[in-house]
Amino acid sequence: MWKDIEAAPADSIFGLTEAFRKETNPRKVNLGVGVYKDDQGRTPVLQCVKAAEKLLLEKEESKSYLPISGDPLYSQCVQRLIFGNDSEVIKSDRAATIHAPGGTGALRIGAQLLNKFNANGTVWVSTPTWANHMGIFSDAGFAISQYPYYNKESKGLDFEDFEQCLLAVPEGDLVLFHACCHNPSGVDLGEQQWRRVAEIAEEKKWIPFLDFAYQGFSKSLELDRRAVELMAEKEIDFLVASSFSKNFGLYNERTGALTIVAPSAREAEVAMSHLKKTVRVIYSNPPAHGGLTVATVLSDDSLYKQWVGELEEMRNRIIGMRTALVDGLSARDIDTDFSFIKDQSGMFSFSGLNDDTISWLRNNKGIYIVGGGRINVAGLTSKNIDYVCDSIAEAFKTA
Ligand code: LMR
């Protein structure tokens, strides 16, 4: 069956991790895949997760199926986290949430479901966007269009062009946004800009789909959800894909959620019925462990506080490494200003390094960076920062 078929190219992010594992340079550094590392270069299990797992192990009596939509307490907890406890959306039952296998699973289930009712639909994605967005939506049957976002010259947001493009998006199309910590650029919209996006969505009747994979990694759990809150203030249809890979460190538990918000409770109920049909034929119902762990932490005051503290520690370490990178580069004799990296938020930084420099760093120094120049700032540690800065300085001199 496969003899005349060409092999597919390796994934631009996970393929890099595979190559990194085989790298023999003893000083190698992986700045590719978006996985948090502590200053010792480890990806630890959070203490609040360990505590919740202990509780779960003690009280678990059965491994029978969960409902198609997952554990109901998990869905409630997700809604409180993404909308805020007192949100009108929750009070008026305008949201339907399922446990999806990771943020990717949430995006894919949402895309699959929407494609049922909009077979030749188009999804608009930012230029640039996370490499997997295109694949997820095109495999579900969507045509892909791009809206202007990152301006390479200013190293910031191209707001005017972005706004003009959104004003021209046809009614019924999907528009995919990064709710915070834009991946790959680290450049986010401000409060007024989100307000304007929500206004345009309402006026033009296209459907916002918020990819919310990094809640708590920019400023705080509350400030990072402003985009979701502002959409919720409008009585419009929109979707949110959440992920607990990063903020709970539950990468391999595939713990995400898809939330559909509708203008009324009845419409949300209809959405849930179709969501369940979509899930049933793909994976039937979700795995339990990650969702139960998150629900245990979020529904317990002391575990919740512990989680907020651990999340803050991760966020602050990343912010510290951003500063160390900028200071380290400016202390070396390089003719480029990298201070813009301090203004970016989240796990990633669009470094401005070009593909030649990226290849040079990989081949000569064992430093792995995703094509396009995205650096996982969380991969920097006090042990490797000097090596990375020296190597970048050397790459600039060699070029
Ligand atoms: C990333 O962007 O590196 C992460 O979100 C991991 C992934 O699934 O690509």
pLDDT of 101-155, one tens digit each? Answer: 999 999 999 999 999 998 889 999 999 999 999 999 999 999 999 999 999 999 9
Q: Is the pLDDT of residue 399 over 80?
A: no
| Position 398 confidence tier, pLDDT thresholds 50, 70, 90 | confident
Among 4-18, 237-251, 340-354, top mean pLDDT goes to 237-251
Tokens of 362: 């990989």
Q: What is the pLDDT of residue 144?
A: 97
Q: Averaged over 159-181, what is the pLDDT?
A: 97
Cis peptide before 128 (omega within 30 of 0): yes
CA 190, CA 227: separation in Å to the nearest integer?
Answer: 9
Q: What is the pLDDT of residue 167?
A: 98
289-298 and 301-330 helices, crossing angle to 10°:
100
* 246 counts as catalytic: yes
Q: What is the pLDDT of residue 352?
A: 87
Q: What is the pLDDT of residue 32?
A: 95
Q: Averaged over 224-249, what is the pLDDT?
A: 97
Print burial letters for 355-382: b (CB count within 10 Å at least 16), e (below 16). Answer: eebbebbbeebbbbbbebbbbbbbbbbe
What is the overall mean pLDDT for the chain?
Answer: 96
| Residue whose token pair is 């203030």 | 233
Q: Averaged over 247-276, what is the pLDDT?
A: 98
Q: By mean pLDDT, which of 62-66, 152-156, 164-168, 229-233 is the weakest?
A: 152-156
Read off the pLDDT of residues 285-336 as tens digits, 9 standing for 90 and up.
999 999 999 999 999 999 999 999 999 999 999 999 999 999 999 999 888 8
- Identify the residues whose C-beta falls under 6 Å from ligand 1: 13, 33-34, 130, 132, 183
Q: What is the DSSP string of 5-50?
A: -PPPPPPTTHHHHHHHHH---TT-EE--S-----TTS--PPPHHHH
Tokens of 23: 């790298």
Catalytic residue among 124, 194, 237, 246: 246
Read off the pLDDT of residues 27-77 as tens digits, 9 standing for 90 and up.
999 999 999 999 999 999 999 999 999 999 999 999 999 999 999 999 999
Going from the Cα of 371 to the center of ligand 1, the distance in angstroms, rounded, reads 13
- Secondary structure of residue 248 in the 3-state scheme: coil
- Best residue among 30, 132, 250 to mutate for probing ligand 1, ranked by most atoms within 8 Å of CB: 132
Specify the residue with its C-alpha closest to ligand 1, atom 1: 34
Q: What is the pLDDT of residue 333?
A: 82
CA 11, CA 9: separation in Å to the nearest integer?
Answer: 6
Whether the model pTM is above 0.85: yes
Q: Averaged over 245-267, what is the pLDDT?
A: 98
Residues in Cβ contact with 47 at an 8 Å cutoff, skipping those fewer than 6 apart = 306, 310
Q: Is the pLDDT of residue 184 over 80?
A: yes
- Secondary structure of residue 299 in the 3-state scheme: coil
Going from the Cα of 213 to the center of ligand 1, the distance in angstroms, rounded, reads 10
* 124 counts as catalytic: no
Q: What is the pLDDT of residue 373?
A: 92
Print burial letters for 97-122: b (CB count within 10 Å at least 16), e (below 16). Answer: bbbbbbbbbbbbbbbbbbbeebeebb
Catalytic residue among 124, 130, 206, 307: 130
Q: What is the pLDDT of residue 175?
A: 98
Q: Is the pLDDT of residue 264 over 90?
A: yes
Tokens of 202: 């309402």
